Structure 1
Amino acid sequence: MRLTTILRASRTSVSQLPWIGELKVAQLQRIARATGIQSSGTKSVLAARIQAALSQQLIPPPQEKNSNDWSVLSIDMGIQNLAFAHLRVPKASLTQMVARAPSRPVLTAWHRLKVSEIGDLDLQGTGVKTDGGDVAERMSDSEAGSIPSSQTIETKPPTGLKEAFSPDVYASMAYTLITSLLSVYKPTHILIERQRFRSGGGSAVQEWTIRVGVLEGMLHAVLHTLRHARGSDIAGIEVQGIEPKRVVRYWEDLDSDTTQEGDDGTKKGRVSAREVKKTKIDLVGRWLGASLENDFSSDTGTRSDGDMGVGAAVDGKICLAADRPAVHDLAGAYLQKWRGEGTRKKRSSTAGSISEIGKLDDLADCLLQGVTWVEWQVMRERLAREGLQAFEMP
């Protein structure tokens, strides 16, 4: 049924995008990787998939959404280490395609947390913690109208069961997490990392992957239910699952099926998960370094990060929200840990964040996922409007 839908969509769009059918398989795969589209399949299936995705860019969005910036919430799944980034994407990033000089996404929030502790987190970065139990009170009347006033909803795990693997506890945490994020950030797009039950080619299914997979499904279920129950106020939110492999391939083509050549021309083996993780952490470190440097210097052309071996990736991918000091503090803490700088060099205002930042990969993953998704949308828009002129083919 899904394939039939794609093929039907391609028949209606082929007259709008005739150049797609003229490309070779390798060219179609490159376009798919550059736009976040599944790159497997035969030439006809791949072409149909690309045509269906690009044709969506030719459909004008509703007027009320078209006039606003995007509010993108990117979630890296976990239970003990869930991370999310909130990006405000200026309208110019999506409309100034011909000039190819879109505004950079603005990072307004960046957190890692235990899901069970969502009610204790300062989501807005104002020093006032968000209590998940009061979410309904902070919603507008129309948003809370779907929740019966006489019904008590458990929004925090029972004492002593925070770490329990129980569907009712996970459902409670999922509801609290989603309603809190909706209330504070009012996203137009929510990106949720897709989970795999096996990793590294292993045959065993780890228990923690099952737990995270259950929570992932519950987040989607809560969002689906709220969108239908509340009607128009959040019905327009777009929710997408994002495969980490496609994010990695967009930047470095470092998925496990890829082999690379060394400097001597010999084939290198598969890239390890540790190397992929390091590359992602390095890439985000470069972005943060460039953003913070722009905050303190007008010389935007100076590189301060050195050669981190991340290929042709560009440093200036994001901006840090000027009115979110917590974001600046966390970015500074990330950079200092990434660079291995001593604690004596840290500013006093960032001491708390530095001591609590922990490992960097979860924070890197959620930010990388959000920025990559935005770039996919920009490239889709360019291809739909400009054709192959927007994409240099060999």
Structure 2
Amino acid sequence: MSSAAAMTGWKAALLRHTAFLMGLSSTGTKAEIAHAVQQRARQASQTLDRRRVISVDMGIRNLAYCVVDMPHNETFGQRQHGSKLPITVRHWSKRDLLLGLQDQQHASEALGKEVREPATTTCKEARRSSNKDVLPKTAFTPSALSKVAFEVVTGLLQHQPDVILIERQRFRSGGQAAVQEWTVRVNMLESMLSTGTVNFPTIHAINPATVANFWVTGKHMDLELHAEHYQAGSGIMELQQPLKLPRKKIEKKDKVQIVRSWIAGSRDDVNLCFEGEAAQTAEFFHSKGRSSSPKLALSVTKLDDLADSLLQALAWARWEQNSRQIEKLLSDLND
């Protein structure tokens, strides 16, 4: 029995729920969703040894990224349902690329250094980066920005990732009459980073709304697959609880709070281990926006970019786990 035949008895609600848990779009016809689920499951089965993930939250003033190690495939398979997903955060920081435009020669060195001050922008540097007069008029031309993008890519690859995740930028104006110039700049940077990593085997553009919906919904439902939902009984496999996505706008504080709860260990879905400077970055979330050090004043008031990069990485880890489970379920159904 083929995978397609095995899925013919699945209800539309179960297909949509499965797609959601795999990080896929849950809209479309049953055939379209089923095809996407099969394709994603096959991809996951072919990436069993890809453990190190770099997750980039796009920005020019605030480009945040983290380097995380996912568990071995054996660890994935040995986990009990409902147990915490073990993730090691090797590096977690944020940088202002405007400083790189001013001083490009140090950008790659700073990004590639494994142990460094993670997101510490001094008050002097903050004033410098926020002062538009210090930047030449040509700072954001393709030729100038491409140099910074090259240094960023070079630094990221020094971490020897298996997978690179880049936050996908919006392509529309959000209902406004014109596209903001800053949006155009960030889109241009995203394109340059994608071009710089085009020969990298595994790079994915991630929709930030998909990530946010995934984790916020996780407060109300299990984000792991339940094998019993896929057991063949009468040939109709049903989902007990319908998928309900949050309707209210997801605020930055909501996402920061999720990361805070992970760091505090108050959520039962992820077990984070921070190493080196990543542990220092995690401390910023304990401060809840307050710091006794003036050198950290900017970084602790801008936690959402750091939070977004980690949320994206961990969403990918969960999607990978769920996709591998679906691949195993389909394989068992085919036997």
Structures share fold, TM-score greater than 0.5? yes
Q: 1:276 is aligned with what amino acid?
A: E
Deviations 1:282-319 (A, max 9, x none): 001111122xxxxxxxxxxxx4xxxxxxxxx6364421
Alignment of 1:214-233 (within 5 A): 214-224=188-198, 227=199
SS at match of 1:197: coil
CA shift for structure 1 position 251: 1.9
2:165 is the counterpart of 1:165: no
User: 1:257 is matched with which residue?
Assistant: none
2:209 is the counterpart of 1:245: yes
Instruction: Give the distance between the partners of 1:194 and 1:33, measured in 2 at CA.
Output: 18
User: 1:107 is matched with which residue?
Assistant: 89
Q: 1:42 is aligned with what amino acid?
A: T
Match of 1:208 among 171, 182, 200: 182
Verify the 8 A CA contact 1:73 1:85 in the aligned structure 2: yes
User: 1:357 is matched with which residue?
Assistant: 300
Say if 1:196 and 1:91 are closer, same or farther in 2 by CA, change over 3 A.
same
SS at match of 1:36: coil
What do you get for the CA RMSD once the two structures are aligned?
Answer: 3.1
User: 2:115 is matched with which residue?
Assistant: 126
Deviations 1:6-45 (A, max 9, x none): xxxxxxxx70353322222222111111101122211111
Alignment of 1:88-99 (within 5 A): 88-92=69-73, 95-96=76-77, 99=80
Instruction: Give the distance between the partners of 1:282 and 1:251, measured in 2 at CA.
Output: 11
2:18 is the counterpart of 1:18: no
Say if 1:51 and 1:366 are closer, same or farther in 2 by CA, change over 3 A.
same
CA shift for structure 1 position 195: 0.5
Q: 1:333 is aligned with what amino acid?
A: F
Say if 1:18 and 1:103 are closer, same or farther in 2 by CA, change over 3 A.
same
Verify the 8 A CA contact 1:194 1:243 in the aligned structure 2: yes
Q: What's the TM-score, normalizing by structure 1?
A: 0.64
Q: What's the TM-score, normalizing by structure 2?
A: 0.74
Match of 2:278 among 318, 327, 339: 327
**Identical residues among aligned pairs (%):** 29
Verify the 8 A CA contact 2:55 2:312 in the aligned structure 1: yes
Alignment of 1:250-269 (within 5 A): 250-253=214-217
CA shift for structure 1 position 217: 0.6
Deviations 1:70-112 (A, max 9, x none): 1100000011111101101121476425644575111111111
Greater RCO, CA 8 A, separation 6+? 2
CA shift for structure 1 position 47: 1.2
Instruction: Give the distance between the partners of 2:248 and 2:52, measured in 1 at CA.
Output: 34
User: 2:39 is matched with which residue?
Assistant: 52
2:18 is the counterpart of 1:31: yes
**Alignment gaps of 5+ in structure 1:** 1-13, 130-158, 228-234, 255-268, 291-302, 304-312, 345-349, 390-394
User: 1:385 is matched with which residue?
Assistant: 328
Verify the 8 A CA contact 2:4 2:34 in the aligned structure 1: no
User: 2:149 is matched with which residue?
Assistant: 174
Q: 1:336 is aligned with what amino acid?
A: S
SS at match of 2:288: helix
SS at match of 1:78: coil
Say if 1:201 and 1:280 are closer, same or farther in 2 by CA, change over 3 A.
farther
Deviations 1:171-210 (A, max 9, x none): 1111110011112x11110000000034655453211111
Verify the 8 A CA contact 1:86 1:110 in the aligned structure 2: yes
**Alignment gaps of 5+ in structure 2:** 101-106, 119-133, 219-245
2:161 is the counterpart of 1:187: yes
Q: 1:190 is aligned with what amino acid?
A: I
CA shift for structure 1 position 241: 0.3
Verify the 8 A CA contact 2:285 2:300 in the aligned structure 1: yes
Instruction: Give the distance between the partners of 1:191 and 1:362, measured in 2 at CA.
Output: 14
CA shift for structure 1 position 119: 4.1
User: 1:318 is matched with which residue?
Assistant: 272
Verify the 8 A CA contact 2:85 2:270 in the aligned structure 1: no
Instruction: Give the distance between the partners of 2:286 and 2:181, measured in 1 at CA.
Output: 33
Verify the 8 A CA contact 1:93 1:378 in the aligned structure 2: no
Say if 1:93 and 1:189 are closer, same or farther in 2 by CA, change over 3 A.
farther
2:85 is the counterpart of 1:85: no
Greater shift in the superposed pair: 17-26 or 109-118: 17-26
Instruction: Give the distance between the partners of 1:58 and 1:331, measured in 2 at CA.
Output: 32
SS at match of 1:104: strand
Verify the 8 A CA contact 1:76 1:366 in the aligned structure 2: yes
Instruction: Give the distance between the partners of 1:282 and 1:103, measured in 2 at CA.
Output: 19
Q: 1:106 is aligned with what amino acid?
A: T
Match of 2:252 among 277, 281, 284: 277
SS at match of 1:271: coil
Verify the 8 A CA contact 2:3 2:331 in the aligned structure 1: no
